[in-house]
Amino acid sequence: MNPAAHATPGTCRERLLPPRHEAATGTRPIKPRDLIELRDFGRSDASLTGKPIYTLSPDGMSAAIALRRADVQSDSYCLGVAIIRLDGSRRARLIDVGGEFMQSYADGRGIPATPTGSAYGTAPIWSPDGKAVFYLRRDHGVTQVWRAAVDETQGRPLTHFSTDALSIEWSSVGRTLLVATRPALAAGAAAIENEGRRGYHYDARWSPHWEAKPRPPLPLPQQISAIDPRTGEERILLEAEARKLKSVSMPSRPTDAELFTISAAGNRAWTTRVGLNPFNAPRRFHVEFDGRELNCPDAICGAGVSAAWWRNDHTLEFLRGGRADDGGRLALYRWDIRRGGSPQLQFQTDAALMDCTPWHASMLCAVETARMPRRLVKVDPSTGRFTTLFDANPQFASLRLGAVERLRFRNAIGQQTYGDLVLPPNHRAGQRHPLVVVQYISRGFLRGGTGDEYPIFLLAQQGIAVLSFQRTGYLPETYATADPSAAQRVNIEGFKERRAIFSALLAGVDAAIGKGVVDPDQLGISGMSDGASTTQFALINSNRFRAAAISSCCDEPSWLFVTGPAYRDQALSWGYPKQASDGEAFWKAMSLTANAPTMRTPLLIQVPDSEFRGALEPFSALQQYRAPVDMYVFPNEMHVKAHPAHRLAIYQRAVAWFRFWLLASTSDEPELANEIIRWKALRNPPQ
């Protein structure tokens, strides 16, 4: 964020904690800042698994969360750690406020620590006595471990590393904190800076689409340090010692188990991967009772179990579903094994339940619905009814939102998926609206699609219906492939995967049209990342869309060199044609550049400066052939754009773009005046 302008801690204390009450009027029009400045906690998506959203205190009476809230005016974030009393006996309390926005990093294609732009959202961990929590906080460009007592109002740093702390957990004996760092990354970066004195060698260490220098090559091992939780005293551990301390030995855990739970009596339940591919194969659920594995029907245990726990020594509860192939429905099953029979369905829901854990006779979960941001709730396991324990955004109940209906449909090869159809809040019977497709995950609160750039409820407020589309799952034939490259070869041949996704998207559009509320001649499409690729494919292989917008760009011949040698060689192994080869037939189905002479669908491109090079070839080609295209580049951004000020501009421009092309309406935002003039020229280009 902008280091020269930031929200002050005092201001953040006021902004982070929600008000006690808010009238649920449902009448106020929604504004961009209502979405951008929501209070968030935990990971940025509503996936079934991932970093913990909250942690439960040892006595089960409190939960700890890490809160964040964007501030558009200062282009920064307010960050804090809050303790929530689950019995409602006192208001949530902030025990630390401050720090800098932390984003996630990922290793890939031999290149380490590529920043993603997504928030690194994970909950604090509790001390064994429940009197303090420990968490990661970033200040002055370095992430440290901090400690805050639950009865205080400000934390303090526990470590003073010269490089980032990456993760924190208790040792198996619960008396020492184990903290991961990666000093080899800093040493490698220093070596590369020194290399620059004689010029960088261009090789597989480069990913030039986002950085104009090489990165230290993998592997770069992590270092584990044992930290005294009282003094911060550090001791670097040898690998064998760290491995021994990181987890309690569990000889009862199968070596191939992923999800695993065991009762006090030693009864077990676990998932294993079905198929060879380590990334996309489905998981089989196994249950063992009194030393014998039970037979659970494939329809229940064959795939899709995401969480499980023993309610007691003979009663197992588990969640399954919430995926494309089951229409997004999540189901809780209970299995009283002493009674025999099969697991019994307790309830089903379209809501996104996350991080559920047994809590007294109920379940404690984070939950989102299509029209409701994340909350912490108590769930009745028999009925699925939930009771709110912490609502981070009570003001949202005052907003006027359009109706949401989940539509389920199948693609051309029979894969099931779904989409959420959102209508304008003033919709009346008999009206038909333009429709914009937003991609490519539709789970939980409908904010702005993957990447959060196409504000669904803001579009609806402008009189545009929205289909929030959930992409289909992996192609079944990829499950048998032994490595990701083999799976990608299946996907790339004839763009088979992209065709399957797009046929599902068209089925969703047709389902929406079939409701009688959509004008089939006024369709728009948008997307980021995988969704941008589907949009690109749609513009080339269909003439149904009247306007499009993408947030990353593009799968083109130039991508082979823009992304660097490592990606190039990988893509060639998947079946992409070499440069200077006869690849015309291959690219005709996918490349905007190859189809530029006939492209006439208005296309808005809003990309980060770390990726804009990939858009230069198609943008230039489209301009040369006078296709209606406009592009904006956002500085200091990664794949997911994080700056609050940028997100506001992206929201406003995306909404104005679809209003202009689908409703023939112009925005009254003064910041967009020059852009509207430019778009009018795109609509009537000189001959």
| H-type alpha helices, 493-603 | 496-514, 530-541, 559-562, 565-574, 584-588
Q: 639 an active-site residue?
A: yes
Report the C-alpha gap between 521 and 332 in whole angstroms. 41
Report the C-alpha gap between 14 and 33 in whole angstroms. 17
Q: 140 an active-site residue?
A: no
CB 122 within 8 A of CB 113: no
| Nearest CA among 37, 85, 50 for reference residue 64 | 85
Tokens of 684: 């009537």
Find tokens 């990661």 and name the residue. Answer: 136
Within 13 Å, how many C-alpha atoms sit on residue 619's CB side? 18
Kindly name the residue from 263, 398, 503, 529 that is annotated as catalytic.
529
Find tokens 């009189």 and name the residue. Answer: 463
Q: 529 an active-site residue?
A: yes
Q: Is 48 helix (H, G, I), strand (E, B) or coil?
A: coil
Kindly name the residue from 556, 611, 637, 675 that is annotated as catalytic.
611
Report the C-alpha gap between 151 and 131 in whole angstroms. 8
Q: Is 228 helix (H, G, I), strand (E, B) or coil?
A: coil
Q: Is 392 helix (H, G, I), strand (E, B) or coil?
A: coil
Kindly name the residue from 209, 286, 639, 646 that is annotated as catalytic.
639
Q: In DSSP terms, which residues pair with 115 in a beta bridge?
A: 105
Tokens of 604: 């808005």
Residue 171 CB contacts under 8 Å (≥ 6 apart), including other chains: 177, 178, 226, 245, 246
Find tokens 């190039």 and name the residue. Answer: 568
Report the C-alpha gap between 414 and 473 in whole angstroms. 11
**Alpha carbon 71 to chain centroid, angstroms:** 21
The amino acid occupying position 45 is: D
Active site residues: 529, 611, 639
